[in-house]
Structure 1
């Protein structure tokens, strides 16, 4: 039975890694272009007829950017991820085919056809490699790309675009039905648990973003952008931990609440729920409350607030939606706070049991992962460290800053940077990541030489002490 349980745990972890990687791939097509999405959102919020400063001349920018530029950027980025510059160029070309071949915003379509076109080009390039004499490389390269581009663009224009258009209409109709029948708030049942499994970016940018843009094109705003990006419920949960939590969780929760609410870095909230999974019900109740208020009072934004802070939400709020967004934000925070408070007061576990550890493992899970990894790598001198997270921005940036400071205090001159897990450079000596992302990092970068160490809270300084000690020992300190 022990073997069976071990196999089941391994299968669950493997499945979670695959889901995380797929979700990260989807969000990876949007994240590099988020600044452009925000710029478009600001133009929309300001200049459309119902905007803050209505201007028909400037509002003419809104539709072309939404219809052409945003999908083309996503298609290029998706293609680039798969096959570099050639893949990116072909992804943009194929995206143009589906844009012209459909009558809806093709952001979702770009996330499909961009990577597919690049994958097809990659296969063709691999097949042709070494089959022609020297001197013909440029000719073959250009014409093979031209032929593949012709085929995929025609397919996109004639077949793929119309098919995706139908799918988008079906999904949009489903969303509109859920809003009309007031069942959209129940989506929190799926969103709240998915967030703490580091699938937040996939939900936000891979699913809600494309559907939300379609709603903006029709109604000038969308509540879908606030399904995941609304930080009110998570801040409410963190505030409850700040008052009624125990141990290290109580000490670090106030800072986490400030970072999540003002800085918009939602990942700082995840370890607290992984530590005490029952708190997911508090956030779930908060999301349900927020969405209900948004729908009742006409809330919504014109683009995804990124980072998902309170102030980013206000900036992207169109005229007429401010009251709904403010009420929804604070109502969700209050409900999450109240539910979390009840759950925490019902908890009778001793204070020392509240150290932030993995929710699905024994209390020493992260330490065990580190010992296993260190035992496999001997004699590695640490010169470059990467702190990696799902998106490579918020939580890993804070972690890298904390670790860099600790290393300097220990008189260790080490290059410490943060990165997205998929984009960790080849010359790294030590990768530090969250225990929930540990298996994913190893699958991507384990070459027998890289050292992997895990933490369970990116912003808790004490968790980096063992890393500093290891680095010191590796350098003969």
Structure 2
């Protein structure tokens, strides 16, 4: 019972974090566009241009918050919720003197939620022929009322909260204890809260710092690829079995591709390695602080290429040195842990079940009896799902899609975020820590839990079963 309760609590925390990041992730392209324009055309940019630079303030003040609000409302109640949420957010935007990302993340979903409740009350009670009239006016009236309330009440409250958070972050930075944040950030990342931390918390606060100072160190706390690279390098030298063999490819995907989820299973396999991630993250942030480094926008994905693209003019030495130091420190700590490890046959499969000795295909996949009882006949759609639907799931989907194509099977393989898992999915593949949330979204499909999207034998098992059926 205790295990089930803990799993349920973790799933709820992941879901809350996913909802936060889910409002930002679909709009990352717009954030990057704003970051590029900022880096290039502001007075301290690479090629200052007053005309192009005039785009910066309207984008950060209106475009980005409205996109967040629309996405938040849409998550709750489709397009109607998105429209109401975005319109209502104008109230907090106009009534504030700082970018209202926090306000958008509150008012957007609130507008969608209230629209959903009103639609439910009106369902089946509208006379034939008046549906469009009632639907349009109910949305318009609610949006207008919420915009006024947001301007008068919600906006000032959010602004006060925003100022408190900004002051707190500023105090932590001034006190020089920002590196200690990794005591909390690194464990949360491994529990697949990385997108929630980066895009739901640090990103909005960082954007406000950019508006004032032209860069922010907050963009670098969760995204630094150094700690993960150091752990994977340690596995290359001191790992054993599958963990050693897969570390090479994982390091490339992590550091160059920016998919940090690829190294999480290596820590889950040996939880003491979280100390290496903490030490690497803290040391890197210390270097960033000493050199007063910062980025102009969130590097998404957290690739070294994205890091360099978001680095302002004159900031490359501090950024690169911070990544290098975090890699070295993480590598040294991880190496020490791996060298004194007691397990003679250390293997990444233990991330699935540390209590069992598994071999062959079972080492990288787990499924319940009810999944085994479901048929692989008439499978038409396979979904790879992760928190954001863009990183590890895209990589896994690409690998399986290639195998499906080579086998001549007519099966669609796509990647989605867990919140967007479709009802017509026949097979759903997730990391084991996310399977519970995936089941809650769609319990009719076959659910497969893997520990390593890069090298899981489950892909060959799926192809074999589909071919037989």
* Shorter-chain TM-score tier: over 0.9
- In the alignment, which residue of structure 1 is the partner of 2:465? 470
Looking at structure 2, the residues matched to 359 and 36 of structure 1 have their Cα atoms a distance apart, in angstroms, of 41
Distance 1:34 1:274, change over 3 A: same
Is 2:261 the partner of 1:264?
no
| Superposed displacement of residue 370, structure 1 | 1.1
* Runs of at least 5 residues in structure 2 that lack an aligned partner in the other structure: none
| Secondary structure of the structure 2 residue equivalent to 1:433 | strand
- Matched-pair contact (CA < 8 Å) for 1:453–1:467: no
Equivalent-residue separation in structure 1 for 2:292 and 2:436 (angstroms): 42
Aligned position for 1:249:
243
Q: Per-residue displacement from partner, 1:300-335 (whole Å, max 9, x unpaired)? A: 101000111001011111123222111111111111
Structure 1 position 467, deviation (Å): 2.5
Within-5 A mapping of 1:185-224: 185-224=179-218
Three-state SS of the structure 2 residue aligned to 1:304 is coil
CA contact (8 A) 1:238 1:269 kept: yes
Distance 1:276 1:97 in 2: 49
1:161 maps to 155
Q: Is the 8 A contact 1:27 1:202 kept in 2?
A: yes
Match of 2:390 among 393, 400, 407: 393
1:118 aligns with 2:115: no
Q: After TM superposition, give the deviation of residue 411 of structure 1 in Å.
A: 4.1
Asked if structure 1 preserves the Cα contact closer than 8 Å seen for 2:92 and 2:155, the reply is: yes
Residue 300 in 1 paired to residue 299 in 2? no
Matches for 1:120-199 after TM superposition, within 5 Å: 120-199=114-193
Please tell me whether the aligned partners of residues 91 and 150 of structure 2 are also in contact (alpha carbons under 8 angstroms): yes
Contact residue 402 and residue 461 of structure 1 kept, 8 A: no
Structure 2 CA distance for aligned equivalents of residues 359 and 269 of structure 1: 17
> Once superposed, what is the RMSD of the aligned Cα atoms?
1.7
2:451 pairs with 1:456 = yes
Shift of 1:15: 0.7
> CA, structure 1 residues 359+235, in 2 after alignment: closer, same or farther (shift >3 Å)?
farther
Give the corresponding residue for 2:403. Answer: 406
More displaced 10-residue stretch of structure 1: 156-165 or 390-399 = 390-399
Q: How many residues align?
A: 466
Structure-2 change in CA distance of 1:438 and 1:171 (3 Å) = same
**Contact 1:357 / 1:363 at 8 angstroms: preserved in 2?**
no
Displacement of 1:389? 1.2
Instruction: Choose which of 45, 52, 55 in structure 2 pairs with 1:51.
Output: 45
Check whether the contact 1:398–1:459 (CA below 8 A) recurs between aligned residues. Answer: yes
Give unpaired runs (5+ residues) of structure 1.
1-6
- Equivalent residues of 1:277, 1:359 under 8 A apart: no
C-alpha distance 366-89 of structure 1, shift in aligned 2 (>3 A):
farther
Q: Distance in 1 between matches of 2:12 and 2:6?
A: 10
Secondary structure of the equivalent of 2:113? helix
1:366 CA displacement:
7.4
Distance 1:424 1:232, change over 3 A: same
For residue 11 of structure 2, what is the aligned residue in structure 1?
17
- Whether the 8 Å CA contact 1:248–1:356 is kept in 2: the answer is no
Q: Is structure 2 residue 411 aligned with structure 1 residue 417?
A: no
Contact 1:276–1:359 (Cα < 8 Å) also in 2 = no
State the match for 2:369 in structure 1. 372
Deviations 1:405-449, CA, capped at 9 Å, x for gaps:
2334444332211111111222211111111111111111013xx
Partner residue of 2:221? 227
SS of corresponding position for 2:298: coil
Matched, 1:339 2:326: no
1:185 deviates by: 0.7
Change in 2 beyond 3 A, CA 1:420/1:204:
same
Mapped partners of 1:458, 1:356: distance in 2: 15
Structure 2 SS opposite 1:454: strand
Q: Tell me the TM-score normalised to structure 2 length.
A: 0.96
Deviation, 1:369, is 4.1
TM-score by length of 1: 0.94
After superposition, residues 68-79 of structure 1 pair within 5 angstroms as: 68-79=62-73
Distance 1:278 1:472 in 2: 41
Deviates more, 1:47-56 or 1:266-275: 47-56
What is the SS of the residue equivalent to 2:286?
helix
Residue 256 of structure 2 aligns to a residue in which SS? helix
**1:436: which partner in 2?**
433
- Contact residue 297 and residue 324 of structure 1 kept, 8 A: yes
Q: 1:366 to 1:115 in 2, by over 3 A?
A: farther
Partner of 1:29: 23
Q: CA deviation at 1:79?
A: 0.7
